[in-house]
Chains A and B, each alone.
Chain A
Amino acid sequence: DIQMTQSPSSLSASVGDSVTITCQASQDIGTNLHWYQQKPGKAPKLLIHDAINVETGVPARFRGRGSGTSFTFSIRSLQPEDVATYYCQQFDDLPRVTFGPGTKVDIK
């Protein structure tokens, strides 16, 4: 089974800061990875698909990079509405689709 880890598990940053989350896969998954944002009490929302592609309608301050086993998700100029938990999801090991444990982002 492919194991997904995310770091940090939580972070706190100021409005306007840049933040970066890392997602690691236990084996090569190419670019078979998506990123979702989940605000408190809400359903997840797709932000980045196939590791690097920003979903239509998602602000350009969100960015995804990486391939293979190491991936990063970045928010440039953090905004109050970005408070959420962010999850990576791999779909390489089908049908064993798995999410990372999540990274909670707060505002200082």
Chain B
Amino acid sequence: QVQLQESGPGLVKPSETLSLTCTVSGGSISDHSWSWIRQPAGKGLEWIGRVYASGTTKYNPSLKSRVTMSVDRSKNQFSLKLDSVSAADTAVYYCARDRGRWVSDYWGRGTLVTVSS
């Protein structure tokens, strides 16, 4: 059974960089593409971007200038970096496995990241 687990600091200071890692178990990261989605408390879902096993990325244009995603095949992990964060970036961040047709079929449990000084 495929499982995903997000990890990273739960508190980030304004203007700093948010860094999260998603560890994949029960499957190879080389076989799929991988996404990050976030959800502010009480609000809807926002797609952040996708990284392919090759390292190619697709980002939400609204976040593109601040987002970097990468894959570490040796660790079966992928990561998210979001620069210059503000309170508006406070959210639960989910990682997910994508299959064809932009379906996210396996999700992590999510991790809350709070941006505050």
Question: A residues near B, CB below 8 A?
Answer: 32, 34, 36, 38, 42-46, 49-50, 55, 87, 89, 91, 94-102
- Could you tell me the distance between the alpha carbons of A42 and B94 in the complex, rounded to whole angstroms? 10
- Which listed residue (B58, B59, B109) contacts A43, Cβ 8 A? B109
Collect the chain A residues with CB atoms within 8 Å of residue B103's CB. Answer: 34, 46, 49
Interface residues of B in 21-56 (CB under 8 A from A): 37, 44-47, 49-50
- Could you tell me the distance between the alpha carbons of A46 and B2 in the complex, rounded to whole angstroms? 15
- Which listed residue (A44, A46, A95) contacts B49, Cβ 8 A? A95
Which one of B45, B49, B61 has the highest number of Cβ atoms from chain A below 10 Å of its Cβ? B45
- A87 and B45 in contact (CB under 8 A), knowing A46-B104, A49-B103? yes
Q: Are A55 and B105 in contact (CB under 8 A)?
A: yes
Q: Are B60 and A46 in contact (CB under 8 A)?
A: no
Q: Are B60 and A43 in contact (CB under 8 A)?
A: no
- Could you tell me the distance between the alpha carbons of A15 and B62 in the complex, rounded to whole angstroms? 41
Collect the chain A residues with CB atoms within 8 Å of residue B107's CB. Answer: 43-45
**Is B101 at the interface (CB under 8 A from chain A)?**
yes
- Could you tell me the distance between the alpha carbons of A45 and B45 in the complex, rounded to whole angstroms? 12
Q: Are B61 and A96 in contact (CB under 8 A)?
A: yes
Q: Are B44 and A87 in contact (CB under 8 A)?
A: yes
Collect the chain A residues with CB atoms within 8 Å of residue B101's CB. Answer: 32, 49-50, 91
- Could you tell me the distance between the alpha carbons of A40 and B67 in the complex, rounded to whole angstroms? 28
Q: Are B59 and A95 in contact (CB under 8 A)?
A: yes
- A97 and B105 in contact (CB under 8 A), knowing A43-B94, A87-B44, A102-B44? no
- Could you tell me the distance between the alpha carbons of A43 and B105 in the complex, rounded to whole angstroms? 11
- Which listed residue (A43, A46, A97) contacts B47, Cβ 8 A? A97
**Is B108 at the interface (CB under 8 A from chain A)?**
yes
Collect the chain B residues with CB atoms within 8 Å of residue A38's CB. Answer: 45
Q: Are A95 and B60 in contact (CB under 8 A)?
A: yes
**What sequence of 0s and 1s flags, for each residue 49-79 of chain B, a beta carbon within 8 Å of any chain A beta carbon?**
1100000001111000000000000000000
